[in-house]
Chains A and B, each alone.
Chain A
Amino acid sequence: MESSELFNISTFAYILAMIAYIGYLAFKNKGIGIAATSITVMGFIAQTSAILVRWSESYTQWMHFSPDSSFLLGIARSAPLRNLYESLVFFVWSLIIVYLIIEFAYKNRSLGAFVTPVAGLALAFIEMQGMSKDIAPLVPALQSNWLIAHVLISFFGYGAFAVSYSTANIHLIIASTEKKAASYLFWSFTFSLFIWTLLLMTARTLFMPDLQPAQISSFWFWTMLAYPALLFITWRFGLSLQKPLSFFSLSADMLDEITYKSIAVGFPLLTLGIITGAIWADSAWGTYWSWDPKETWSLITWFVYALYLHSRLMRGWRGKKTAVLSLIGFISVIFTYLGVNLLLSGLHAYGSG
């Protein structure tokens, strides 16, 4: 099968799984839960195969241009982690595997309703941006093993952070009983932002597949106006989410612990990601740190999670306040990853990657 067909199958499976997990949350039916997990696993298998097929296609291409490469070098240079499209696919892949591990370890499916939308969001985003899916040969700066280590490690880290985002969000939903509380306002803000983006992208892919790049920004502008309405709805009816969630054995303590654990996994990975990135830059250009926006944003993200870790050490900060920090951390992850390419590069002169 073609890799693009397999990718479509996995995208479809994750969106279906998202619906099933939400259905599971709403109806608390074990059968639906098992179906949701099975669909996710199938999507994961399809996606893994798609990645492998793509890898072998790029391997063939690399060996065509550099026939004297060794097998290992060919494998390394053709690893599908080379542009925004491939890295997003890999992000979704690592998110799903981290999630499946947690689902089996904690024997709890309720997180799925919050994790699969992140996967759906990322995949929809690919369609939204009309990103190039061509297998292009590697430019010289990208021909580095450090780069592969850098991307791999960073994305496992992002996967772990995405999980902490989901648990922190549920934590805030469960723990905020006051509509006027800052934590309630904060989660309605991030949550509605999240749902809004998801809706937009789905709408965009389903109804307006032929939008030109030039029209995309005006599409964004007009739909921006719809966001306040969604925010209001989330804020007004958000409390009713507590009810379905209360049927699962999700205590605030347990969510706090999973959030912490995911960050305890993500933080060392982010650190290693930054370090390997610095080593790569050093070997390519002779500067391990040049304060370029991407580097600086990864440092900002690192700072935010350091804030999270230290704030937990202080009395009285466990719970909602730290959960808010972990949400800010994930917003910063997203910005490091996408915002720098999409927003700052529009502002600055250098091209997008």
Chain B
Amino acid sequence: MTSKNKKGLSIVMRAWSFFSSVTLAIVLIAVLALSSIVGTVIEQNAIKARNIQVISTFVGESMAPAAYRLLDALGFMDMYHSWWFLLLLCLLSLNLLVCSFDRLPRIWKLITDPIIPLKENVIRNLSIKREASVTATPEDVSKVVEDVIKAKGFLPNINKEEGGSLQVYGHKGAYSRLGVYVVHASILIIFLGAIIGVIWGFKGGLNLTEGSSSDVAYQYGTGKPIPLGFTIKCSWYETEFYGGSDMPKLFKSELSIHENGKEVLKKWIRVNDPLTYKGITFYQSSFGFNPNPTNSWFVFKVTAPGVTEELVWARKNQTFQIPGTQHSATVLDFSPALATDRQTGQLFTYAESMNNPAVKIQYATEKGVKVGWIWKRYPETGKLDEGISLEFMHYWGSQYTGLQVRKDPGVWLVYLGCILMSLALYVAFFMSHRKIWILVQAAPDNGTSTNILIGASAHKNKHSFQRDVDKMLSSIVTRLGGKD
């Protein structure tokens, strides 16, 4: 080997030993934690004025603009996407990888090495040690011992030793040593899933007025249209409220997917219940009201003699016939949120969204013409005549649903990583590689009693294994009817 090669090797070796240390992990995790704090104080991706205000509460008005420029140059205004934060995450991943590969061969050997019988003095030096003596032959004792440790999940091995003594030994949970490695691997899997999502996925938004459709969504940030590969249509949007209050209970939209002019899927979505088609998911995220819609209809449910709940669609200022009657009605006016002033009794519109919609109706019969308001929230206001009522259902076409549109081909990896991590954390903390050796020897002084010597070890949770060993010993002793 030339000296140049040796030098190259030693750099690799040095890098390896640098990245295989837990100290580096501690430093990296600490730096990540500390820098993340800054990102929670400074509002991320906010407009400049807002963060200058935040900063000025710490350094004062006069210093704030300069401090802002400095922090901005360091990437703190969008710090979780800044180059140095990503670098930290890369270093952490490298650290994890190298550290795991550095240790795995040794751990693997610990797992796969067969367990062998031990000398008495070695057993006596193990961290868990118990002794007892019973009146039975060594053969009988070893049968019971085998039974008892088998019941605890050990696969017993038996070694006949000189002088007629027997050693029963076994181990279990060897693979639990891998638990922390799976925890670490799951962190990498989650990172991988996140990276795949960033590269091959997108996040965008789409506002769809009732009755309209689109075959693109608009990427957040850039506003770039992204083709969906199919058409999405919204046929209805509605907010439901709790009782007579303005407290929203439900936001829901009826969406349908169209391909080659055919409807292939239809679903009501709501918050917490999105629609997914071909890897693209549509979430109910907002809504809005357009006071001057181009294509809108008032929808009424009519009850009249001989007519049960027929829907009537009408345009503004267009007179329509009430089914089953000779009467007609006209929508004169609309308010998205109509209330009565307590003091003056005047009507006024109190919100710009459709909280409490009402229509002003002109109702014409042979007896004359009446004008009044019908509220959606109060169906009884739609009672026009004996047996005739016009329930105001919806002002169709005036609202749009705000959809969040996402494609994330990496999300399943993220979830896989989460599941693995949960299981592996359980293994890492609550299971352990447990080994037990039990030496069964005829007592030297008389021929009828047998001494039992137990030595055991666990790579974790020693105390709970200690309790298990005590239980095993007492069940051995009671089954042999002997003394402790």
Contacts and interface: CB of A to CB of B under 8 A. Distances in A.
A47 B37 CA distance: 35
Interface string B315-347: 000000000000000000000000000000000
A286 B406 contact: yes
B272 A299 contact: no
Q: Which of B203, B250, B271 has the most CB of A within 10 A?
A: B271
Nearest to B44: A291
A86 B399 CA distance: 35
Contacts of B425: 267-268, 271
B352 interface: no
B40 A143 contact: no
B281 interface: yes
A349 B80 contact: no
A125 to B, nearest CB: 21
Contacts of A291: 39, 44, 80
A75 interface: no
Main secondary structure of the interface of B (DSSP, over half): helix
B71 to A, nearest CB: 15
A144 B249 contact: no
Given A286-B203, A296-B36, A300-B37, A310 B250 contact: no
A286 B429 contact: no
A107 interface: no
Of A64, A257, A267, A283, which is in contact with the most chain B CB atoms at under 10 Å from its CB?
A283
Given A271-B422, A286-B203, A286-B406, 12 more contacts: A139-B247, A140-B270, A264-B430, A275-B422, A286-B405, A287-B203, A291-B39, A291-B44, A307-B30, A344-B41, A349-B43, A349-B46
Nearest to A348: B43
Contacts of B33: 300, 303-304, 307
Contact of B272 (A144, A272, A310): A144
A288 B414 contact: yes
Interface in A136-151: 136-141, 143-144
B418 A282 contact: no
A300 B203 contact: no
Interface in B260-293: 270-274, 281, 283, 285
A36 B31 CA distance: 43
A311 interface: yes
B450 interface: no
B281 to A, nearest CB: 6
B29 A306 contact: yes
A197 to B, nearest CB: 21
Interface string A335-353: 0000010001001110000
Interface stretch (B18-26, B129-137, B384-392): B18-26
A310 B25 contact: yes
Interface in B188-231: 194, 203
B29 A303 contact: yes
Contacts of A340: 40
Interface string A22-51: 000000000000000000000000000000
